[in-house]
Structures are given as structure tokens and as C-alpha cells.
Structure 1
Amino acid sequence: MESTTKLYSLNYTSANTYLFALLFVVGNIALPQLCHLVHLGGPTMLPIYFFTLIGAYKYGMKVGLLTAILSPLINSLLFGMPVVALLPAIFIKSVLLAVAAGYMANRCRKITLPALLGVVLTYQVIGTLAEWAIVGSFYLAAQDFRIGIPGMLLQIFGGYALLKAIAKR
């Protein structure tokens, strides 16, 4: 018997959109702070993207987009990380993640590992190409693929586990 999965597509006119976005932004502030306690924890674990994925997949692209824009901006203003020079690339990847996750959730209507793998690869590949265009160095742009594989795995498997845990809510 397959369990029921509730996925939403909230609108900007709904107070719940802003409430959920705020909760996911708080998560995207707290998780990076924890990861940055470890040497290279941020670039390795890619924590700024985790709750953007969860928010966009569970509550829709609009919650994801609010989370994608506000999380790096607030983190940068409060903690200086990410540094301002990295914000354009992180904004691009965050927005791509929100769009890909919202689209995939709407298309699949269920939570699957292949769907999350597709979301993560989509935003990472396109985001890496965009970052390459911005920084002019493929080596620097491909950092997520060089040292961020644990973070991508966290997004796929951790995201799957968390989405499944909140699936019926």
C-alpha cells in the first residue's frame, strides 16, 4: 500500500508561503553555521541549499524561490558568508534549485530518489556552467563537483529522508 504524499504549490498571496519560507530560511541560516564549525564544512556539505530543496519540493516553487534568495542574502549580511563576491553564483544555483525542485515535485507528484538526483544534478550542472561564465575558471566553478559531493549526497538522501518524514503533513 503506497502512502499518501502531500505536496503543495503555495501562492504569494498565501500567508503560509511566507511562514514556510521563513522556517526554511532559518534552517538555511542554522545549518551552514553548524557546518562551518568544521574545516571546509560549507564547501563540502553545501548547507545553504538544503532547506531550499525541501521547501521547493514540499511547498512549491514560490516558497523555494523566497528561500533561495533570502537565505544567502541574510547569511552574507549577518555572518559574511557567503562572501559578497560569491553571491551571484550562489543566487543562480539557489534559484535553479528552487525551480528544478518545484517543477519535479509538480511533475512527479511523489518523493523519489531519482527525482531528487535529477533536481540536484540539474541545478549543479547548469549552475556550474553559469558560475564558469561568471568567474572565468572552470576549475573554480567545478568546486562543488570536486569537494561538494558529500553535500550533494546529503541533499539527495537527507532530503529524501526529511521529505518522507514530513510527507503526510
Structure 2
Amino acid sequence: METSAKLYSLNYSNVRTYLFALLFVVGNIALPQICHLVPYGGPTLLPIYFFTLIAAYKYGFRVGLLTAILSPVINHLLFAMPSGAALPIILIKSALLAGTSALTARTLKSVSLWAILGVVLSYQIIGTAFEWAFIGNFHVAVQDFRIGIPGMLIQWFGGYALLKAIAKL
């Protein structure tokens, strides 16, 4: 289940970097608002990460990192979600997702269901370790693995489907 794809690595000097980042940030603002209509929609569906995965995999680390940083910060400023207490961990996990996604895409040069699973598990496992070190509570740190499995599945299958759909763009 591997699809060859046009993958990019845009530079900060390229205006398209900022245009694509803006597009994905808008997605990362809209999707959480929709998901928060469902009780525990944010912690269960993990929507703040979805377009960061797509941005970094398709357009490279710079677009992914801009999306990873701006999405949670703008969401916090506009809607107070994520909360100020959760913001540092979400920023760490988002940056990890941008890095692992871009590195995987650059290494494989294709879209694969197993590659996307590897990206999702990598950023979650490493991010959980950071969260545990940061807050000192293992039970809270593994929250994404306790209640966020539906969100990880959406990232895995939905991310793969969207990346496959835009593979030739």
C-alpha cells in the first residue's frame, strides 16, 4: 500500500511556505472547533494535530513547523483551547509530529499506510515521554493512549487517505 507522491521541502524564503502553512493552520483551527462540539472531542479525536501531519509530510518541515506552532497558539488565543497548562505539551508534540512526518516523507519519498502509522506512533510515544517528564504524572501523560486512540486512528487512516488523494499535486 505505497503510493508515489510529489513531496516538497519549501524554504522560509518561499512565499508558498507561508501560504500553505496558513491553509493548514486554518484547517487546524476549524477542525478542533467541529470536534469540540462532541463531549471530550478534543482529547479523544486529537484534531489539532491532523493538518500538521499533512503539512509536514507533503510540504516539508518548515511548513509543518509553522503549522505545528501557529495552530495551537492561535487556537489558544482565540478560544482558550488548548488551555494554557496544556499548551507547552501540545506544542512539543506538534513540533515532534512535524519533524517525524517531514523526515519520514523525505526518507521514503512515498506515502505508505505503515509510514503514517510510524509517524503517529513516534510522535505520540516521544511526546508522552516529554509530557511525563514535564508534569511528572504518568497517568496524565498517557492520556492520548487512554482516550485518544480514535484520534490516532483518524490521523493514521485519514492522514493516509488525504495524502494519497493529494499525492500528485
Q: Hey, what does 2:121 align to over in structure 1?
A: 121
Query: Which structure 2 residue ranges, 5 or more long, are not aligned?
Result: none
Question: SS of 2:111's equivalent?
Answer: coil
DSSP 3-state at the match of 2:8 = coil
Question: Which residue in 2 is equivalent to 1:36?
Answer: 36
Distance in 2, Cα, partners of 1:78 & 1:144: 24
Residue equivalent to 2:65: 65
Extract structure 1 runs of 4+ deviating beyond 4 A: none
**Residue identity opposite 1:44 in structure 2:** T
For the 8 Å contact 2:4–2:109, the answer to whether it is kept is no
Shift of 1:63: 0.3
What CA distance in whole angstroms lies between the structure 1 residues aligned with 2:3 and 2:83?
42
How far the C-alpha of 1:5 sits from its partner, in A, is 1.2
Aligned residue in 1 for 2:96: 96
Q: TM-score, normalised by structure 2?
A: 0.98
Report deviation, 1:3. 6.1
Matched, 1:163 2:163: yes
Q: Does structure 1 conserve the Cα–Cα contact (< 8 Å) formed by 2:3 and 2:164?
A: no
Q: Which residue is equivalent to 2:53?
A: 53
Over 3 Å counting, the alpha-carbon distance change for 1:3 and 1:110 in structure 2 is closer
Q: Is the 8 A contact 2:4 2:111 kept in 1?
A: no
Counterpart of 1:83 in structure 2 is: 83
Q: How far apart, in 2, do the equivalents of 1:32 and 1:4 lie?
A: 30
- SS state at 1:111 partner: strand
- Give the deviation of 1:28 after TM superposition: 0.2
In structure 2, the partner of 1:146 is 146
Deviation at 1:32, TM superposition (A): 0.2
Q: Distance in 1 between matches of 2:55 and 2:158?
A: 13
Q: How does 1:18-29 map to 2 (within 5 A)?
A: 18-29=18-29
Figure out how many residues of one structure are paired with residues of the other and give that number. Answer: 168
Partner of 1:110: 110
Instruction: Give the Cα–Cα distance (whole angstroms) in 2 for the partners of residues 155 and 3 of structure 1.
Output: 17
State the one-letter code of the partner of 1:15: V
Percent of residue pairs bearing the same amino acid type: 70
Please give the root-mean-square deviation of Cα atoms over the aligned residues, in Å: 0.9
In structure 2, what is the Cα distance between the partners aligned to 1:108 and 1:150?
26
